[in-house]
Amino acid sequence: MSGWLWFLVCLGFSIAAHHRSFRFEVNNFYIRPTVRDIFESINWTQPNRSTLSIAWILKRQIDQMDLETSLDIIKSDKQKMRLYHIRLDACKFLTTIHKNRIFTLLAKSVNRGSNEHLKCPLKPSFNYTISNMHLSEDDFPQYVPECHFKAISKFYIHQKVAVRMLLEGEVDYKH
C-alpha cells in the first residue's frame, strides 16, 4: 500500500513540475493596412495582457501574398539577438508543417483561435476572426529567459506592402 502512495506522490510532483512559471505578455500591438483597396475593415482588441483578437473583412480575393517577418529578443542588458528575419510565401506558411519550431508555434496559435482554417485564396466579404490568440506556455521548455521581444511583419500583395504589423512583449515570471 505504501508503494502505491509513494508512486502517486511522485506522479503528483512530476505533473506539478510541468507547470510553467512564466507567461508571455503583450505590451504593444498594431496592424496598419497600407493599401486602401484591400480591406473593408480590420480591427483588433487585447482582452488581457496575454491574448489578442483580430477580425478583418477583405474587399477582394487574395490569391497570393508574401510575408517578411523578424523576431528580436532584447535581453535585460539591452543586448538584441535576432532569432530570424525571413521572407516567405504567406499562403504556404499557413498550411505547411514547419521545420522551424517557432514558426510551428505561431501557426498553431493563429489556427487555434481562427473561425476558419486560414488558407489561400482568402475570400472577400468574409469575416475572418482570430479569437484569443496567444502563445501557450506549455508549448515551450520549462525555462525561457526573462526578456523582451519584438516581432515586425509585413504582408506583401503583388510585391507591394499591404499590411504592417508590430508585436512587442515580454516573458514575465509569475512571483
Instruction: Give residue-wise pLDDT tens across range 68-88.
Output: 999 999 988 889 999 889 999
Residue-level pLDDT at 118: 83
Q: Does residue 163 sit within a domain?
A: yes
How far, CA to CA in Å, does 21 sit from each of 9, 17, 48, 77, 172? Answer: 21, 10, 18, 22, 9
Q: Does residue 50 sit within a domain?
A: yes
**Number of domains the chain is built from:** 1
How far, CA to CA in Å, does 1 sit from each of 4, 8, 9, 14? Answer: 5, 11, 13, 20
Residue-level pLDDT at 175: 47
CATH number of the domain that residue 166 is part of: 2.70.220
Q: Does residue 103 sit within a domain?
A: yes
Residue-level pLDDT at 20: 66
Q: Which residues of the chain have pLDDT under 70?
A: 1-20, 97-98, 175
Residue 42 CA to residue 40 CA, distance in Å, equals: 7
Q: Does residue 138 sit within a domain?
A: yes
Residue-level pLDDT at 155: 95
133 neighbors 110 (Cβ within 8 angstroms): yes
The residue segments making up the domain with residue 102 are 22-173
CB proximity list for 169: less than 8 A, separation 6 or greater: 24, 25, 26, 27, 28, 148, 149
Q: Does residue 29 sit within a domain?
A: yes
Q: Does residue 10 sit within a domain?
A: no
Q: Does residue 92 sit within a domain?
A: yes
**pTM, rounded to two decimals:** 0.79
